[in-house]
Amino acid sequence: MKTRSLAILFLVGTGISGCTFEDGKPWGEVVFELQSDFDRDDRGDDWLQTSKDYDVVLTTLKLDLTTIDLNIAGEEGVLSFDPANPPEGYSLCHNGHCHAADGSLVAYETISAELAVGGTGETLVGAVDATIDFLNPSEIPVDCGSCEVGRGTLAAFTMRASRIRIEGTAFDRRLAPRIPEDGLPFTIDMPLTAEASQTLTGEREIGRDTPVGILVPGYFTIHARLLDQIDFANLHGTQMDLLEALETSISIERFEP
């Protein structure tokens, strides 16, 4: 009798452990295929116009990336917010963005990502720790270990940067130039705490009936409007908001390894 009970317990136990343990496969296995990119925003090919009336010839635009995370919400973690009832810290949501308390406009996707990151679930942390060139688009290496994730819903993607380096030469378009007429060579090399998130869409579910392979392709794009934030006549007074000029375009594709 005791033996039969143990047998039943064993069978129940193996049943609970689920199919992932039976065949040795994880619920999901992530593969990153990420690239850097630079968008000139139709401001010229070699000389980039800025809204402060400068022309800039860029020679370097690099970011030190530290980590890239994937947040997997628990199965009950459906991410949502109603623009008619903006989440705390926001007001007046419409046309794809909400007004933050500081007056900035924040896209619905970013707000959803915030909610996701703050939710309960698992986070796959991918280490990058590399300097990424944005003028010469390159692949971004991500070390996520086994890259295995549990079941749930792929929710958000977060990228963190720790330093930016911009080099080039600036020219003044004004008749009364504010910097040397033959151009001002410059270097901006500064640490930063930068964190950009994006809500994920597409085949987000990770479960028994979904492919194990999770390909995460995408681009990190810095727009030329980043240069609008720089007054080359007063470099040390420049304040930069990288998020305003950084676009993440991440998608999900599923496959059977």
Partner 1 sequence: MKTADWPDETEVHMKKHLSIALALVLGMSLTACGDEHDDHEDNNHANHTNVETPEEEACEHMEEGPFQDVTAAEDSTGTLENIAVPHTRMDVALAGEGADRGGVVSFEASEAGEYTFYLSQDVGFELADSNAMVLTPEASAGPVSLCATAILATHTFDLQVGTYTITMGPADLETLAVIFEAGEHEH
Give the Cα separation of 230 and 52 in Å (integer): 8
CB of 145 to partner 1, least distance (A): 10
Kindly identify the residues of this chain, within the stretch 175-204, that bind partner 1 according to CB under 8 A. 175, 184-197, 199, 201, 204
Query: What letters, b where the CB count within 10 A reaches 16 and e where it falls short, cover 140-163?
Result: bebebeebbbebbbbbbbbbbbeb
- Residue in 34, 61, 68, 79 binding partner 1, rule: CB under 8 A: 79
Structure token pair of residue 251: 């998608």
Asked whether position 25 contacts partner 1 by CB under 8 A, the answer is no
Give the Cα separation of 27 and 186 in Å (integer): 50
Nearest one of 83, 81, 90, 95 to 199, comparing CA atoms: 81
CB of 1 to partner 1, least distance (A): 27
Size of the site for partner 1 (CB under 8 A): 96
Asked whether position 129 contacts partner 1 by CB under 8 A, the answer is no
Kindly identify the residues of this chain, within the stretch 216-235, that bind partner 1 according to CB under 8 A. 225, 228, 235
- Residue in 6, 136, 241, 255 binding partner 1, rule: CB under 8 A: 241
Whether 246 contacts 134, CB under 8 Å: no
CB of 47 to partner 1, least distance (A): 12
Pairing of strands 213-223, 28-39: parallel
CB of 142 to partner 1, least distance (A): 15
- Residue in 30, 68, 140, 158 binding partner 1, rule: CB under 8 A: 158
